[in-house]
Amino acid sequence: MPFLELTLPCTEAQQPRYERALENVGALAVTLADQHADAPDEQAIFEPGVGEQPLWNEMLLTALFEGGTSPELLLYALDAADEGLDWSRASFRDVEDQDWERAWMDQYEPLRFGRRTWIVPWNHDLPEGADAADAAVVRLDPGLAFGSGTHPTTALCLQWLDELADQGALAGQRVLDFGCGSGILALAALKLGAAQAIGVDNDPQALTATDDNAQRNGVADRLVAYSPETEPVDTYPVVVANILASALVALADTLLARVAPGGRIAMSGILAGQEDEVMARYRADFDDLRAERMEDWMRVTGVRRR
> Per mean pLDDT, which range of 54-68, 159-173, 227-241, 252-266 is the poorest?
54-68
Inter-residue contact 181 to 83 (CB < 8 Å): no
Let me know whether 76 and 135 are in one domain: no
Let me know whether 170 and 280 are in one domain: yes
**How distant is the alpha carbon of residue 242 from its chain centre?**
7
Mean pLDDT of 13-20: 84
Burial of 72 (0-12, 13-18, 19+ CB in 10 A): exposed
The response to whether 242 counts as a known ligand-binding position is yes
Domain of residue 48, residue span: 3-103
Let me know whether 55 and 161 are in one domain: no
Higher pLDDT, 104 or 124: 124
Cβ count near 292 (within 10 Å): 15
Pairing of strands 117-121, 236-242: unpaired
Higher pLDDT, 151 or 162: 162
Q: What is the pLDDT of residues 245-271, one digit of tens each?
A: 888 999 999 999 999 999 999 999 888
Mean pLDDT of 152-160: 91
Instruction: Say yes or no to pLDDT of 6 above 60.
Output: yes
Higher pLDDT, 131 or 41: 131
Last residue of a domain, one of 37, 69, 103: 103
Let me know whether 51 and 189 are in one domain: no
The response to whether 7 counts as a known ligand-binding position is no
Query: How would you classify residue 262: left for phi > 0, otherwise alpha for psi between -120 and 50, otherwise beta?
Result: left
Let me know whether 151 and 96 are in one domain: no
Let me know whether 73 and 170 are in one domain: no
Let me know whether 271 and 133 are in one domain: yes
What is the pLDDT at residue 51? Answer: 40
Q: How confident is the model at residue 292 (pLDDT cuts 50, 70, 90)?
A: very high
Let me know whether 272 and 141 are in one domain: yes
Instruction: Say yes or no to pLDDT of 55 above 50.
Output: no
The response to whether 179 counts as a known ligand-binding position is yes
Q: What is the pLDDT of residues 73-88, one digit of tens each?
A: 999 999 998 889 999 9
Number of folded domains in the chain? 2
User: Domain of 91: which CATH number?
Assistant: 3.30.70
The rounded mean pLDDT for the chain is: 85
Instruction: Say yes or no to pLDDT of 135 above 90.
Output: yes
The response to whether 201 counts as a known ligand-binding position is yes
Q: What is the pLDDT of residues 212-225, one digit of tens each?
A: 899 999 999 999 99
Let me know whether 241 and 140 are in one domain: yes
Inter-residue contact 136 to 119 (CB < 8 Å): no
Let me know whether 82 and 121 are in one domain: no
Mean pLDDT of 116-131: 88
Amino acid at 288: D
Let me know whether 92 and 125 are in one domain: no
What is the pLDDT at residue 280? Answer: 97
Inter-residue contact 176 to 238 (CB < 8 Å): yes
Let me know whether 207 and 262 are in one domain: yes
Last residue of a domain, one of 46, 72, 103: 103
What is the pLDDT at residue 103? Answer: 53
| Nearest Cα residue to 270 out of 243, 252, 303, 240 | 243
| pTM for this prediction | 0.70
